[in-house]
Amino acid sequence: MHSASLIVDPAFRIGAVDPRLYGSFVEHLGRCVYTGIYEPGHPTADADGFRQDVVELVRGIDVPIVRYPGGNFVSAYNWEDGIGPAADRPTRIDLAWRSIEANQVGVDEFQRWAGQVGAETMMAVNLGTRGIDEARAFVEYCNHPSGTAWSDRRRANGATDPYGIKVWCLGNEMDGPWQIGHKTAFDYGRLAAEAGKAMRLVDPGIELVISGSSGSKMPTFGTWERIALTEAYDTVDHISMHSYYQQHGDDRDSFLASAVDTDQFIEAVVATADHVRAVGRHSKRLTIAYDEWNVWYQSRFAGEENLPISEAPALIEDVYSVTDAVVVGNLLISLLRHADRVKIGCQAQLVNVIAPIMTAKGGPAWRQTIYHPYALTSRYGRGTVLRLETQSPSHETAAHGEVPLLDAVAVLQDDDQGLALFAVNRDQHEQMAVDVDVRSLPHLTTGEHLALADDDPEAVNDRDNPDRVTPRRLADPKLDGGRLQVVLPPLSWNLIRLTS
Q: Tell me, what's the pLDDT at 343?
A: 98
Give, to the nearest 10 degrees, the angle between helix 223-232 and helix 185-202. 40
Q: For 372-403, how does the pLDDT look when each residue is reduced to its tens digit (9 = 90+)?
A: 999 999 999 999 999 999 999 999 999 999 99
Q: For 147-166, how does the pLDDT look when each residue is reduced to its tens digit (9 = 90+)?
A: 999 999 999 999 999 999 99
Span 116-126, mean pLDDT?
98
Q: Tell me, what's the pLDDT at 480?
A: 86
Residue 357: CB atoms within 10 Å: 24
Percent of the residues in the chain that have a pLDDT greater than 90, as a whole number: 95
Q: Tell me, what's the pLDDT at 79?
A: 98
pLDDT reading at 250 higher than 90: yes
Name residue 483's beta-bridge partners.
437, 480
| CB contact set of 250 (below 8 Å; sequence gap of 6+) | none
Catalytic residue flag (residue 140):
no
Span 470-475, mean pLDDT?
95
Q: For 134-147, how does the pLDDT look when each residue is reduced to its tens digit (9 = 90+)?
A: 999 999 999 999 99
Q: Which of 27, 173, 225, 231 is catalytic?
A: 173
pLDDT reading at 417 higher than 90: no
Three-state DSSP class for residue 441 = coil
Band of the pLDDT at 194, cuts 50, 70, 90?
Answer: very high
Name residue 34's beta-bridge partners.
38
Q: Tell me, what's the pLDDT at 475?
A: 87
Span 93-105, mean pLDDT?
96
Query: CA-to-CA distance for 12 and 24, rounded, in angstroms?
Result: 29
pLDDT reading at 416 higher than 80: no
Band of the pLDDT at 426, cuts 50, 70, 90?
Answer: very high
Query: CA-to-CA distance for 462 and 469, rounded, in angstroms?
Result: 10
Q: Tell me, what's the pLDDT at 307?
A: 86
Cut 0.95: pTM above it: yes
Phi, psi dihedral angles at 227 (to 5 degrees): -70, -45
Catalytic residue flag (residue 292):
yes
Band of the pLDDT at 358, cuts 50, 70, 90?
Answer: very high
Where are the extended beta strands (E) located within 200-321? 207-210, 238-245, 287-295, 310-311
Burial of 218 from C-beta contacts in 10 A (0-12 / 13-18 / 19+): middle
| CB contact set of 374 (below 8 Å; sequence gap of 6+) | 22, 61, 328, 329, 332, 347, 356
- Kind of pairing between the strands at 389-391 and 401-404: unpaired
Residue 485, preceding peptide bond in cis (omega within 30° of 0): no
Q: Which of 39, 80, 207, 292 is catalytic?
A: 292
pLDDT reading at 414 higher than 90: no
Query: CA-to-CA distance for 65 and 19, rounded, in angstroms?
Result: 9
Q: Tell me, what's the pLDDT at 112?
A: 98
Query: CA-to-CA distance for 5 and 8, rounded, in angstroms?
Result: 10
How many residues are present in the chain? 500
Query: CA-to-CA distance for 97 and 81, rounded, in angstroms?
Result: 17
Span 405-421, mean pLDDT?
93
Span 106-119, mean pLDDT?
98
Query: CA-to-CA distance for 207 and 228, rounded, in angstroms?
Result: 17
Average pLDDT in the chain: 97
Q: Tell me, what's the pLDDT at 22?
A: 98
Among the ranges given (180-184, 228-232, 461-465, 474-478), the one the predictor scored with the smallest mean pLDDT: 474-478
Q: For 283-315, how does the pLDDT look when each residue is reduced to its tens digit (9 = 90+)?
A: 999 999 999 999 999 999 988 888 899 999 999
